[in-house]
């Protein structure tokens, strides 16, 4: 054997050994968060809503390949605060972002992207930001201003204003895939790909107009909820299909910023149907039903585009050869009402808005088609991402890493309850501030400011539709007492025991101060 052949053989053996060593060493996974705005579990077929509103094969694929979480709860059901909670791993009253009206995210504070950067991760956020200040902790950012628009969106790329052509969900997907393909491949990455859809006004892509062939959708059982026996806080709202549905919501006028070609396709679909609606002169329940079906067509069409985006993102990971070492998380800033209680929007502690979809795929770690029923939260995302990267979770974060749950292990001390607090009032939807404790079965809720001071107890087992208040029922006296104790414990634990600052409630001041919360009734008195 020649010296040259020996040398080549030695180099080959060394290469094989090197590859073998690299394969044996643990690698920090890439993290891809696909995040929608106002996406609710009822609209994802993997969650099995009995109305079967929509088939979502790409999101279902994540649930099939990974883990579906059935009790992923939010701590403040509104867009900006949920995003701030994800970034910081902290409640609104700690990170300072209470509402969408006048809060501004303090980018100088600790966030998980900053910590991942320090650990050698490439970090990027593309799409909806909605936190008023510019992103920090990201090597690359390319965001929608404010809420963003559905067609041909202007965006802010690293401080420079740019304009894009096309449907916004597609634009965000294209930009996200481009970043994946052109990333620094010497580093693991975090990419937060964040959609505007399916946020109000639910403007579909032109290609999806007519997708449901004028289907008449099954109605939720509570579409005509009369709120009987409930707090004034429940009935005195401004987010109902019977009272708050604008012409833009109903597509009686077109979405903004469309090109001539886009508008032509839009009008070809909507105008004949709008003419028929105007001639019908609907009122009462018939009008609500028309609005509900129009809403379902539009909202679900927006979800279809998000589902297509998920499929394209997964394909991009495959093409880059990184699917096996990328944790994919698909979620939303909260749930959304699809006609339940006669509502659209979110905000309430009720199940449809409280519960966010969460599907996680981690090849080789998460058992395919797993379902997890433990209470997890957006509060846990930061801690989870840091744990995935192999870095220590700061002690001042208020959530917990879900990595043990991914591995099929449930820590003995995993939470059995969660604290919730919604603040923004009176605009835009006149939902009273309220806080409460959530368990697997119960919700104890206090509505306050400015003219209510009511307590409610919901029992999801006895009343899954959440239309009854059991707070004064004698048979629930001990449950009420126990939940008051747990609520007080949680308020101490999360460090919110006093009155929120006035700015927590938003731009529009309102008269009146909250009445003091009543002390928990004693067992004797309750009986």
| Strand-pair category, 358-361 with 326-332 | antiparallel
pTM (predicted TM-score): 0.92
pLDDT of residue 403: 98
pLDDT of residue 401: 98
Neighbours of 362 (CB within 10 A): 22
Structure tokens at 513: 């101060």
Average pLDDT for the chain: 93
Low-confidence ranges of the chain (pLDDT < 70): 1-26, 509-527
pLDDT of residue 509: 61
Enumerate the β-bridge partners of residue 494.
none
Q: Which one, of 75, 82, 347, 102, lies nearest residue 238 by Cα?
A: 347
pLDDT of residue 472: 98
SS3 letters for 210-278?
CCCCCCCCCCCCCCCCCCCCCCHHHHCCCCECCCCCCCCCCCCCCCCCCCHHHHHHHHHHHHHHHHHHH
Query: 116 φ, ψ to 5°?
Result: -70, -40
Q: Are 486 and 415 in contact (CB under 8 A)?
A: no
Q: Are 435 and 419 in contact (CB under 8 A)?
A: yes
pLDDT of residue 508: 78
Structure tokens at 439: 């368990």
Q: What is the C-alpha to C-alpha distance for residues 351 and 336, in angstroms, rounded to an integer?
A: 9
pLDDT tens figures, 227-271? 999 999 999 999 999 999 999 999 999 999 999 999 999 999 999
Residues contacting residue 250 through CB under 8 Å, at least 6 positions apart: 291, 294
SS3 letters for 459-522?
ECCCCCCCCCCCCCCHHHHHHHHHHHHHHHHHHHHHCCCCCCCHHHHCCCCCCCCCCCCCCCCC
420-526 CATH, one of 3.30.1120.10, 3.40.50.300, 3.60.15.10, 3.40.50.970: 3.30.1120.10
Written out in words, the top-level CATH class of the domain with range 32-201+303-410 is alpha beta
Q: What is the C-alpha to C-alpha distance for residues 483 and 442, in angstroms, rounded to an integer?
A: 9
| Strand-pair category, 72-73 with 376-377 | parallel
pLDDT of residue 17: 36
Angle at 346 between CA 190 and CA 62, to 5 degrees: 40
Enumerate the β-bridge partners of residue 376.
72
Q: Which one, of 420, 425, 450, lies nearest residue 503 by Cα?
A: 425
Reported as type and span, the H/E element at residue 87 is helix 79-88
Residue-range domain boundaries for the chain: 32-201+303-410, 206-222+234-290, 420-526
Q: What is the C-alpha to C-alpha distance for residues 78 and 332, in angstroms, rounded to an integer?
A: 11
| Burial status of residue 274 (CB atoms within 10 A of its CB: 0-12, 13-18, 19 or more) | middle
């Amino acid at each position: 054997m020649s010296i040259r052949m020996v040398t080549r053989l030695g180099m080959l053996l060394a290469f094989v050994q090197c590859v073998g060593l690299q394969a044996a060493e643990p690698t920090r996974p890439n993290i891809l968060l696909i995040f929608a705005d106002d996406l609710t579990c009822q609209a994802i077929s993997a969650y099995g809503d009995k109305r079967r509103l929509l088939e979502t094969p790409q999101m279902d694929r994540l649930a099939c390949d990974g883990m579906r979480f059935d009790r992923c709860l939010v701590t403040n059901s509104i867009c900006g605060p949920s995003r701030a909670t994800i970034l910081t791993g902290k409640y609104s009253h700690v990170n300072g972002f209470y509402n969408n009206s006048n809060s501004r995210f303090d980018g100088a504070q600790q966030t998980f992207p900053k910590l991942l950067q320090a650990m050698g991760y490439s970090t990027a956020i593309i799409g909806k930001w909605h936190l008023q200040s510019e992103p920090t902790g990201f090597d690359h950012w390319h965001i929608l201003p404010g809420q963003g628009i559905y067609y041909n969106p202007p965006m802010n790329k690293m401080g420079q204003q740019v304009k894009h052509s096309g449907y916004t969900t597609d634009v965000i997907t294209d930009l996200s895939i481009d970043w994946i393909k052109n990333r620094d491949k010497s580093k693991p990455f975090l990419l937060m790909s964040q959609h505007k859809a399916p946020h109000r006004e639910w403007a579909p892509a032109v290609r999806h107009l007519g997708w449901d062939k004028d289907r008449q959708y099954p109605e939720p059982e509570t579409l005509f909820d009369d709120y009987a026996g409930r707090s004034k806080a429940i009935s005195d709202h401004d987010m109902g299909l019977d009272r708050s549905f604008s012409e833009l919501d109903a597509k009686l006028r077109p979405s903004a910023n469309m090109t001539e070609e886009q508008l032509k396709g839009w009008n070809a679909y909507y105008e004949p149907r709008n003419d028929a609606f105007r001639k019908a002169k609907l009122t009462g329940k018939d009008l609500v039903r028309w609005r509900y079906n129009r809403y379902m067509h539009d909202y679900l069409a927006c979800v279809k585009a998000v589902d297509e985006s998920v499929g394209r993102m997964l394909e991009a990971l495959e093409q880059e050869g990184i699917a096996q070492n990328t944790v994919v998380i698909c979620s939303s800033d909260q749930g959304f009402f699809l006609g339940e209680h006669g509502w659209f929007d979110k905000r309430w502690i009720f199940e449809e808005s409280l519960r966010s979809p969460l599907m996680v795929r981690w090849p080789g770690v998460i058992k395919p088609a797993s379902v997890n029923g433990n209470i997890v939260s957006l509060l846990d995302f930061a801690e989870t991402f840091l744990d995935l990267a192999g870095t220590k979770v700061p002690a001042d974060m208020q959530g917990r890493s879900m990595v043990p749950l991914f591995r099929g292990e449930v820590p003995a001390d995993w939470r059995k309850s969660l604290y919730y607090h919604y603040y923004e009032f009176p605009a835009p939807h006149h939902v009273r501030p309220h806080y409460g404790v959530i368990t697997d079965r119960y919700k104890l809720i206090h509505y306050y400011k400015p003219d209510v001071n009511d307590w409610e107890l919901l029992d999801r087992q006895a009343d899954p539709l959440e239309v009854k208040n059991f707070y004064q029922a004698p048979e629930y006296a001990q449950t009420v007492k126990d939940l008051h104790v747990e609520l007080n414990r949680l308020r101490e634990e999360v460090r919110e025991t006093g009155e929120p600052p006035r700015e927590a409630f938003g731009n529009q001041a309102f008269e009146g101060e909250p009445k003091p919360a009543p002390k928990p009734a004693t067992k004797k008195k309750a009986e």
